[in-house]
Amino acid sequence: MAGARVALWAVCVLRVALAAVYFQEEFLDGERWRNRWVQSTNDSRFGHFRLSSGKFYGHIEKDKGLQTTQNGRFYAISARFKPFSNKGKTLVIQYTVKHEQKMDCGGGYIKVFPADVDQKNLNGKSHYYIMFGPDICGFDIKKVHVILHFKNQYHANKKPIRCKVDAFTHLYTLILRPDLSYDVKIDGQSIESGSIEYDWNLTSLKKEKSAESKDWDRAEGDKAQDWEKHFLDASASKPSDWNAELDGDWQAAMLQKPPYQDGLKPEGIDKDIWLHQKMKSTNYLTQYDLSEFENIGAIGLELWQVRSGTIFDNFLITDDEGYAEHFGKATWGETKAPEREMDAIQAKEEVKKAREEDEEELLAGKFNGHEHFLNRFHRRGEL
């Protein structure tokens, strides 16, 4: 049994070592977070963040994160990292969010941006790749957004995914895989999964791709015929005794093809070269991967809140689902229970304090009433 545990531990360590961690933020170095995160100056009315673990927490240092501080404000802040492409790789985006104020209307989502995003000018019109996380407003909107950018449009998941609406910290995880499957998790549990192609209503785009592929096949055939015609012996003439009924259609003899000409191979057509040279004006899509982004380089918060107090923490972008799970357990997993315990203790103390205040008011009321009665009796005696 001990040997099995050691082997499992070794596998976990190896997996963590092989994981590509593109971004990780826990805010464990105090105010130095301001050197990594850039507050947008696009609007002077944007709300400001502070580092806080809130009124109740599991660990006063580990639970510190970016907290919104002003009611009725838009917020815009971001952090940059070394650009990367997730082509052919799994993309995992994870973070924790705590609506300590018991959110009535506002966002708790994050956005992933291309590397060329203007951080100082970040706003609601800034182009992003992915928007993910909870959004709450009134009784109707209590959803998890999963929005992907593809072919110059934003596409939202058509499935309703309900978010958490209490005041505790929750772990949100989005997994996009190369096979176009996805998974949305809350607190480590899968709450929605499926196909990116179908759950984002992108089947029409696939039909468009299929049509373009047919256009390529048709064009490739025409081009091959042009290649053959180009090397027919133009000086040749049909023999006088040629019988079309018996011999078939006459065709000039083929000249010997040169090994290469204009970048085209004699035995066939180089698809990429032909495509580049001959289809510049078409909408042919050389890359058709709905979950791939070439230049990921920043993560940020761009949202609106009626009542402030939300805390964002434990940001992670990686290519390894196992590492994300391990990171979630080592952060949120370690502090979730103590956080609820502290909240329960505070709630009991608040109830006790409220009862004591009620009793004091009741006693004060009785005393004032008795004094009033004595005063009236005294006055009647004088009369």
Residue ranges for the known binding site are 109, 111, 128, 135, 302
Can you give the three-state secondary structure of 83-103, one letter per residue? EECCCCCCEEEEEEEEECCCC
> Distances in Å between the alpha carbon of 18 and those of 52, 148, 255?
33, 27, 57
Task: Provide DSSP, 220-262.
Answer: HHHHHHHHHHHTB-TT----TT--HHHH-S--PPBPPPPS-BT
Q: Two tokens at 277?
A: 């040279």
Cβ contact 149:129 at 8 Å: yes
Place of tokens 């018991």: 102
* Rounded distance between C-alpha atoms, residue 72 and residue 105, angstroms: 10
* Rounded distance between C-alpha atoms, residue 233 and residue 255, angstroms: 6
Q: Phi and psi at residue 344, in whole multiples of 5°? A: -65, -40
Q: Where is the binding site for an alpha-D-glucoside, in residues? A: 109, 111, 128, 135, 302
Q: Phi and psi at residue 132, in whole multiples of 5°? A: -145, 135
Query: Nearest to residue 274, comparing CAs of 209, 210, 221, 214?
Result: 221
* Rounded distance between C-alpha atoms, residue 46 and residue 83, angstroms: 27
Please calculate the CA angle 186-192-197 and round it to the nearest 5 degrees: 135
- Reduced to 3 states, what is the DSSP secondary structure of residue 243? coil
Pairing of strands 65-68, 310-318: antiparallel
Q: Two tokens at 228?
A: 């053959």
Side chain identity at residue 69, one-letter code: T
* Rounded distance between C-alpha atoms, residue 63 and residue 188, angstroms: 18
> Distances in Å between the alpha carbon of 182 and those of 113, 132, 163, 191?
19, 13, 17, 11
Query: Nearest to residue 319, comparing CAs of 23, 20, 15?
Result: 20
